[in-house]
Amino acid sequence: MFRAPDIGTEIKTSCPYCGVGCGVIAKRDANNEVSIKGDPDHPSNFGRLCSKGSALGETVGLEGRLLRPEINGQEANWDQALDLVAQKFSDTIAEHGPDSVAFYVSGQILTEDYYVANKLMKGFIGSANIDTNSRLCMASSVAGHRRAFGTDTVPGTYEDLEKTDLLILVGSNLAWCHPVLYQRIAAAKADRPDMKVVLIDPRRTMTADIADLHLAIKPDGDVALFTGLLHHLARQDAFDFDYINAHTTGFEETISAAAKLSDFETLSDITGLSSEEINAFYELFLKTDKTVTVFSQGVNQSSSGTDKVNAIINCHLATGRIGKEGMGPFSVTGQPNAMGGREVGGLANMLAAHMDIENPGHRDLVQRFWASPVIPEKQGLKAVDMFHAVGDGRIKAIWIMATNPVVSMPEADTVAKALKDCPFVVVSDVLGETDTTAYAHVKLPSADWGEKDGTVTNSERRISRQKRFLPLAGDSMPDWWQLAEVGKRMGFEDAFNYGSVSEVFAEHAALSDFENAPGAPLPERDFNIGAHAGINEEEYNDLTPFQWPQLKGFEPETSRFFAEGQFYTSDRKARLIPVEAPAPLEYTPSRPLILNTGRIRDHWHTLTRTGRSSRLSQHIAEPFVEINPEDALHFGIRDADIVQVENAHGFILVRALITKRVDQGQVFVPMHWSDQFASRARVDTLVSALVDPVSGQPALKNVPVSITKYQATTYGFAVTLNKPENPPSDYWAQAKTEDGWRIEFADLNSDLSIQSFAQNLFDVPENTLNNISQDTQWLSYGDGKFGDYRVAAFIGEKLIGLLYLSSSPVSVSRNWAIQQLGTDHNNPLQRHMIVAGRAGGDRPDPGSIICSCFGIGSNQISSAITEKSCRSVEAIGQELKAGTNCGSCRAEIKQIIDQHTPIAAE
Ligand code: SF4
């Protein structure tokens, strides 16, 4: 059942990162080395991959893997572990009822995993307490779709983003978060320069590179901006009344609610945009029929996220711009299988196959299909409430799969405490040590990407296979198998007796088709892949990417929804939803800044996968806070200082990055760093558990904080061959390099002993320092007046560690120092240059890495511009190859070129 394909076989699978859902071709060799390339036949990426996708082969090693089940820290076999999980869950349910247990799953697991988890919890345990980390990602889009369309349907396709005349990106940094989609759009715009792109985002992200207009909106100003747009369209008589009358309800109430935002002065106050900017945007929308509005986490991760979604959808419904080529609202998901989770009901407020848990007809249908003993009548606990219930003891047993809530949940320290106090915690993961597995009574080793089989659905409703090309590591097993085994051990043998993953998919497809046709007792449902209900294992293995719906017996005429109405409400009409702008944010003297959180280009979630790749750690290796120069001045913070960002929930320590990318009054911190990679940088410890009242999605981008300079008196930077286990300082952040590790430090203590510090870091035996042998050499330098100390240790010709300490941030070139680890050092002069921190003429400093694929740094790009007159991204590509593989760095290369371009005098 779980045999890996032969060595050397090319396997078509899909990328496990973002919601673009790119096709990947993977191949392993006899040493289990994996080569990766984009699948030219996959309709989502046509062969392209971004930096993360290209580096997938570097993330599949066994380092850090959980290879055997563990019970209370002791290795166990599967029978022992599964029996215990089944017994504990059964006992807890028997004593405290079905709502005393919960599953917290993930947009990383496959649809088949999700299907079995949802079936076990809702149909057999009898609770709806299953929720997913997708709640943190796109729950507001789901809620907005369901309010407007009656179901959770993304109407359009990626092709619409290329064929539109006006592309509006709201709260979406596609260049870094959905890079291949960004590249498709950039290519379309290069082909058709008349295509306009508007970016609506408080930050000037890399996506601004392709924007004709960037609106640096105030956080949560989106409802006002789009409601004002609706009013503007009304004033200009720009509605499509044929569409409105035939296919919508709620028009009058929605327009009259929008009238409250009729003047630009009010809009300007709420959005922070000038009247000219607002008018320019409104006129573009007014005059451009083919319009697509893309939205993602900047819209969803808000206490008004669902209203934002409906404010956007209202404008598209009222103009009839939906379901046609190049038109429509378009939600982009963050995770690879957030959509698959939605399709099987992996959210606490949904039932399987896009059905509604509060609809008695749907409950009856699903229960009959599953032949299940129970089905809950009410919604379960959504993510934030679920962990509150763990904390206050209502939930006494929880099973967490493929996610790291101790890093990613709001008030993350409270989540850690809740898990610590929970009587029974099961964690299924590929890694043994994460911030969350630390609280597990039972750890179950899961199959990693490359080892498991199943399907995922991307943001355009395209279902693709994820396929095994590696053998299972150790005793690891797929998540669906773990769940089915526990289901059987809980007494539900018949319902969970799957012989293969293809049987799970076939059942999921059959449920989507069950009583789902014109003439059936209940209204038709959007999600239908009945064409695959009878799929066998061979057909499943040959399944090529397809978009739903795929009905049994006939081909749909279009892959889009709603051009002709036919919404999934009782009267088949869409709902225009009156929405109101939320109250403006409150800045208080004690918390004068608004914290925004998000992703960076080359890392993913909590670094459990991308942190294993040295290539992906080159671009940005340390947690940081972006601060506007005015705020930095005001708070006495200089570039590269360590900064304490805090509020009532806690504090984090991160490096200051002073930039105009963020407006005054705002700061930005990436979401990725966990306790495994930094001393104190879990940014979600600062996020309060404030949620959108409709979707339950937390407001992760709108957090009042204060910042202060951390009064470090010692700063350090080191590279070492060995991973430092307990870096000995208050602040540290470490990342993998090609030949070892790099570590940044800061400490309040100015009296650190460099010798013991270095010894501890480099992991060399005691007394080696004074034991200069032929093979071992320590070189050091100290300047007490300026607090500068440096030490380098060599064994043979290899540098094993290099440490710089200083009373101010260390300014040595990181990439130059990192390269020294992998270089032979037989020249005494060179060894002294290393201690001095200076690049010799024969080893120039490449600068900070911009192109991860070819390891090209900013200094190299600058030299090509100034010395070789390379004035375009293409010219840089020809000269250095930078930007010619995955293309993820092209926006940054252009920015460097722009910085070197003289501005003409006015
Ligand atoms: Fe993976 Fe990058 Fe494609 Fe997203 S854009 S699916 S991360 S290759």
Q: Are 200 and 225 in contact (CB under 8 A)?
A: yes
pLDDT at 906: 38
Nearest CA owner, ligand 1 atom 3? 22
49 lines ligand 1 (CB under 6 A): yes
Q: Which atom of ligand 1 is nearest to the CA of 38?
A: 8
pLDDT, tens only, 551-586: 988 777 778 999 999 999 999 999 999 999 998 777
Whether the link from the prior residue into 589 is cis, omega within 30° of 0, is: no
The answer, yes or no, to whether any atom of ligand 1 lies below 6 A from the CB of 15, is yes
Q: CA-to-CA distance for 586 and 704, rounded, in angstroms?
A: 8
The CB of 804 under 6 Å from ligand 1? The reply is no
Calculate how far, in angstroms, residue 23's C-alpha sits from the geometric centre of ligand 1.
9
CA of 177 to the centre of ligand 1 (A): 8
Q: Which of 180, 456, 616 to mutate to test the pocket of ligand 1 (most atoms within 8 A of CB)?
A: 180
The ligand 1 atom nearest the CA atom of 458:
6
**Residue with CA nearest ligand 1 atom 2:** 50
625 lines ligand 1 (CB under 6 A): no
CA distances from 618 to 472, 726, 851 (A): 29, 22, 9
**What does the block give as tokens for 477?**
């097993």
Query: pLDDT tens for residues 266-323?
Result: 999 999 999 999 999 999 999 999 999 999 999 999 999 999 999 999 999 999 999 9
- Residue pLDDT, tens place only, 443-455: 999 999 999 999 9
Q: Is the CB of 18 under 6 A from ligand 1?
A: yes
Asked if pLDDT for residue 839 goes beyond 90, the answer is: no
Sequence-distant (≥ 6) Cβ neighbours of residue 864 within 8 angstroms: 870, 875, 876, 879, 880
Q: Ligand 1, closest atom to CA 16? A: 1
pLDDT band for position 228 (cuts 50, 70, 90): very high
Whether 449 is in the pocket of ligand 1, judged by its Cβ within 6 Å, is: no
Q: What pLDDT sits at residue 321?
A: 98
21-39 confidence digits (pLDDT tens): 999 999 999 888 899 999 9
Which atom belonging to ligand 1 lies closest to the Cα atom of 17? 7
pLDDT at 544: 96
Residue closest to 293 by CA, chosen among 142, 169, 137 = 169
CA 526 to centroid of ligand 1, rounded, Å: 27
22 lines ligand 1 (CB under 6 A): yes
Answer whether 17 contacts ligand 1 (Cβ < 6 A).
Answer: yes
- Count of CB atoms within 10 A of residue 635's CB? 17
Phi-psi region of 73 (alpha: psi -120 to 50; beta: other; left: phi over 0): left
Contact 338, 138 (CB under 8 A): yes
678 CB near ligand 1 (under 6 Å): no
User: Which ligand 1 atom sits nearest the alpha carbon of residue 179?
Assistant: 5
How many angstroms is it from 16 CA to the middle of ligand 1? 8
Atom 4 in ligand 1: which residue has the minimum CA distance? 18
Distance CA 653, CA 665 (A): 19
Q: Per the structure block, which two tokens stand in for 459?
A: 């943001």
Q: How far apart are CA 803 and CA 828, in angstroms?
A: 18
The phi and psi torsions of 757 (rounded to 5 degrees) equal -60, -50
| Cβ atoms of 760 and 724 closer than 8 Å | yes
Q: Which of 698, 668, 651, 582 is nearest to 227 (CA)?
A: 582
Average pLDDT of the segment spanning 700-723 = 93
- The whole-number pLDDT of residue 284 equals 98
The pLDDT tens digits for 353-378 are: 999 999 999 999 999 999 999 999 99
Which 3 state secondary structure label does DSSP give 81? helix
Does ligand 1 have an atom closer than 6 angstroms to the CB of 56? Answer: no
- Residue 252, number of CB atoms within 10 A of its CB: 10
According to the model, what pLDDT value does residue 718 have? 93
758 confidence band (pLDDT: 50, 70, 90): confident
Cα 655 to Cα 653: distance, rounded to the nearest angstrom: 7
Q: Is the CB of 19 under 6 A from ligand 1?
A: no
DSSP code of residue 511: H
* Residue from 454, 467, 453, 458 nearest 548 by CA: 458
Bridge partners (DSSP) listed for residue 872:
none
Query: For residue 99, which phi and psi values (nearest 5 degrees)?
Result: -80, 5
The DSSP element (H or E) to which 816 belongs, if any, is helix 814-821
Which pLDDT score, from 0 to 100, does residue 774 have? 56
Q: For 895, left (φ over 0), alpha (ψ -120 to 50), or beta?
A: alpha
Do 586 and 501 meet the contact criterion of CB atoms below 8 Å apart? Answer: no
Residues 6+ away with beta carbon under 8 Å from 511: 352, 353, 366, 369
Q: Is 272 in the pocket of ligand 1 (CB under 6 A)?
A: no
Instruction: Give the model's pLDDT for residue 827.
Output: 84
Residue 21 CB less than 6 A away from ligand 1? yes
The β-bridge relationship of strands 442-445 and 424-429 is: parallel
Query: Is the CB of 55 inside a 6 Å radius of any atom of ligand 1?
Result: no
Question: pLDDT per residue over 50-92, tens digit each?
Answer: 999 999 999 998 989 999 999 999 999 999 999 999 999 999 9
Ligand 1: residue of 14, 22, 44, 601 to mutate (most ligand atoms within 8 A of CB) is: 22
Residue with structure tokens 């003409």? 904
- Give the nearest ligand 1 atom to 21 CA: 6
| Ligand 1 atom closest to residue 45's alpha carbon, by position in its atom list | 3
Beta pairing partners, 373: none
- pLDDT-derived band of residue 41, with 50, 70 and 90 as boundaries? very high
Mean pLDDT calculated for residue range 828-849: 76
CA 397 to ligand 1 center in whole angstroms: 35
Q: What is the CA(46)–ligand 1 centre distance, in A? A: 12
CA distance 581 to 559: 34
- CA 591/CA 808 separation, integer angstroms: 27
Contacts of 35 (CB under 8 A, 6+ apart): 26, 27, 28, 29, 57
Region of 605 please: left (phi>0), alpha (psi -120 to 50) or beta: left
Ligand 1 atom with minimal separation from the 181 CA: 5
Rounded CA-CA distance 545/457 in Å is: 9
Instruction: Assess contact for 79 and 71: CB atoms under 8 A.
Output: no
Q: How far is the CA of 847 from the centre of ligand 1 (A)?
A: 26
CA 783 to chain centre: 45
| Rounded-to-integer distance, Cα 147 and Cα 360, Å | 19
The CA 52 to ligand 1 mean position distance, Å, reads 7
Residue 20 Cβ contacting ligand 1 at under 6 Å? yes
For residue 363, the CA-to-ligand 1 centroid distance in Å is: 36
Tell me whether residue 410 is exposed, middle or buried, using C-beta atoms within 10 angstroms of its C-beta: 0 to 12, 13 to 18, 19 or more: buried
Give distance in angstroms: CA of 50 to centre of ligand 1.
6
Of all atoms in ligand 1, which is nearest to the CA of residue 20? 6
| Nearest atom, ligand 1, residue 178 CA | 5
- Residue 337 Cα to ligand 1 middle (Å): 12
Nearest to 480 by CA among 229, 16, 182, 112: 112
Please give the distance, rounded to the nearest whole angstrom, from the Cα atom of residue 21 to the centre of ligand 1: 6
Is it the case that residue 226 has pLDDT exceeding 50?
Answer: yes
- The rounded distance, in Å, linking the Cα atoms of 860 and 874 is 15
Q: Would you say 105 and 338 are in contact if contact means Cβ atoms under 8 Å apart?
A: no
For ligand 1, the distance from its centroid to the CA atom of residue 799, given in whole angstroms, is 36
User: Could you tell me the distance, in angstroms and rounded to a whole number, from the CA of residue 120 to the centre of ligand 1?
Assistant: 31
Mutate to test the pocket of ligand 1, among 14, 37, 50, 600 (most ligand atoms within 8 A of CB): 50
Report the pLDDT value the prediction gives residue 886, as an integer from 0 to 100.
79
From the CB of 50, is ligand 1 less than 6 Å away?
yes
Question: For residue 732, what are the β-bridge partners?
Answer: 745
Q: Tell me the CA–centroid distance for residue 14 and ligand 1, in Å.
A: 9
Q: Which atom of ligand 1 is nearest to the CA of 604?
A: 7
Per-residue pLDDT for 845 more than 90?
A: no
Return the amino acid letter for 759.
Q
DSSP state of 794: E
pLDDT for 765 equals 58
Whole-number Å distance, alpha carbon 57 to ligand 1 midpoint, is: 14
Give SS3 for 525.
coil
Confidence of residue 784 (pLDDT cuts 50, 70, 90): confident
Of residues 904 and 519, which shows the higher confidence score?
519
Say what the pTM is: 0.93
Rounded CA-CA distance 111/118 in Å is 10
Q: How far is the CA of 445 from the centre of ligand 1 (A)?
A: 25
What Å distances lie between residue 177 and 87, 614, 670, CA to CA? 42, 19, 12
Give residue 387 CA to ligand 1 midpoint distance, Å. 30
424 lines ligand 1 (CB under 6 A): no
Ligand 1 and 887: CB distance under 6 A: no
**With 0-12 CB in 10 A as exposed, 13-18 as middle and 19+ as buried, what is 707?**
buried
Ligand 1 pocket, residue 179 CB under 6 Å? yes
Please give the average per-residue pLDDT across 671-691, as a whole number. 92
Substitution site in 24, 36, 48, 49 for ligand 1 pocket (most atoms within 8 Å of beta carbon): 49
Taking CA atoms, 111 is separated from 340, 399, 580, 725, in Å, by 5, 17, 36, 37
